[in-house]
Amino acid sequence: MGIFSEAVEVERSPSGELVRLIWRGVSYSIAPHPLCWYERRRWWELETRVPPGEGVGVVDTQMWRFQLHREGIPDGLTLDVARYRPADRWRVIKIHEAVEDIFKEVLGGA
């Protein structure tokens, strides 16, 4: 993960699926079954308050790996995007070079 990150916008279908992503002014379609996982945070070093009753997005950060396609362009693009809650802001964390590695990485070479 880099230190610098860029904001992106994400759109959902009426049924809630993530369908489009807008990055650097360009609109991409999101391939079905995007991978979602959570990264732990060292919140006790980062937060000033964790009052009872609140705490979503304190312990972990929601991460998404999107396979993106631009209309009319055959080659896809893979982005890791973090969704910060409770504010619901999306930021690009990592740009992948090739799509094929991903399954291997995720399933530990299964």
Partner 1 sequence: MRNFVHLHSSSAYSAHFGVSWPEDLAAAASVDGDALAITDRDGLYGAVKHVKACRAAGIDPIIGVDLAVLEEGPHGLYASGRVVVLAHGGAAVAPGTGYAALCRLISLAHAGSATVGVTLEQMAAGVLDPISGTPALTVLLGPMSPVGRAMGGNQQYLLPRRKFRTWHRAMPAGSLVVELVNHQSSQGTAMSMPYAVRLLKLAQEFEVPAILSNAARYAKEGNAPTADVLDAARNIASLGKIEELQTSAQAWIKGASAMHALAQEIVFYAGDGDAEVKQLWANTARLADKCRLDPVADLGWKKASTPEAAVLGLTQPAQLELRQRTEAGLIRRYAGVSHGKLRDIRTRLETELATIGKLGFESYFLTVAEVSEMIRTMGVRRAARGSGASSLVNYLLGISAVDPIANGLLFERFLSDNRSTLPDIDLDVESAQRHAVYRRIFERFGDQRVTLMSMQNSYRARGAVRDAGLALGMDKGEIDQIAKQLWRFSASSFREALAEKPELRDLAAQLQHSRLAQERGEGAHEGREGQQLDLLVDLTERLDSLPRHISMHPCGVILGDSSLLNRTPVQPSGMGLPMSQFDKHDMDAMGMLKLDVLGVRMQSAMAYAVREVIRLHPSKQEVIAQGGHAENAPYINDAGGIDLDAVPLDDEPTFELIRSTHTLGCFQIESPGQRELVGKMAPTEFSDLVVDISLFRPGPMQSNMVTPYLESRAGFARPHYAHPDLVPVLEETHGVTVFHEQILHTFSTLTGCTLSRADEFRRGLGDPAVEPAVEQYFREHAAVKGYSAAVIEEVWETVKAFGSFGFCKAHGAAFAVPTYQSAWLKAHHPAEFLAGLWEHDPGMYPRRLLVAEARRLGIPILPLDINLSTGEYRAERTLSMEGGTAPQAVTGIRLSLAGVYGLSGTELKRILAGQPYDSLADLRDRAKLSRPTLKRLAQLGALDSLHRQAQHLTGNTANRSDLVAHVNSLPAHRPGRRTAPLEGQLALPLGDVELGTLAAHHVDLSPAETVRTELDLLSLDVSAHLMDSYAPLLKTLGVSYAEELLGLRNHSEVFVAGVRIATQTPPMRGGKRVVFISIDDGTGCVDASFFSEAQEKSGPLLFGTRMLLIKGLTRRTGPRGITVQALQAWDLHDTASLPRGAVLEGAATNGYHQRGSQQPPYVA
Q: Interface with partner 1 by CB under 8 A: which residues? A: 33, 35-40, 42-45, 47-56, 58-60, 105-108, 110
Q: Do residues 29 and 19 lie in contact, with contact meaning Cβ atoms separated by under 8 Å?
A: yes
User: In the complex with partner 1, which residue's Cβ is closer, 72 or 108?
Assistant: 108
DSSP state of 103: H
- Of 2, 23, 3, residue with least CA distance to 68: 23
Q: How far is the CB of 69 from partner 1 (least distance, A)?
A: 19
User: In the complex with partner 1, which residue's Cβ is closer, 7 or 50?
Assistant: 50
User: In the complex with partner 1, which residue's Cβ is closer, 24 or 40?
Assistant: 40
User: In the complex with partner 1, which residue's Cβ is closer, 11 or 38?
Assistant: 38
Q: How far is the CB of 72 from partner 1 (least distance, A)?
A: 28
Instruction: Answer positive or negative: Cα dihedral of 47, 37, 85, 79.
Output: positive
**Token couple for 54:** 């609140």
Q: Do residues 35 and 84 lie in contact, with contact meaning Cβ atoms separated by under 8 Å?
A: no
Q: How far is the CB of 57 from partner 1 (least distance, A)?
A: 8
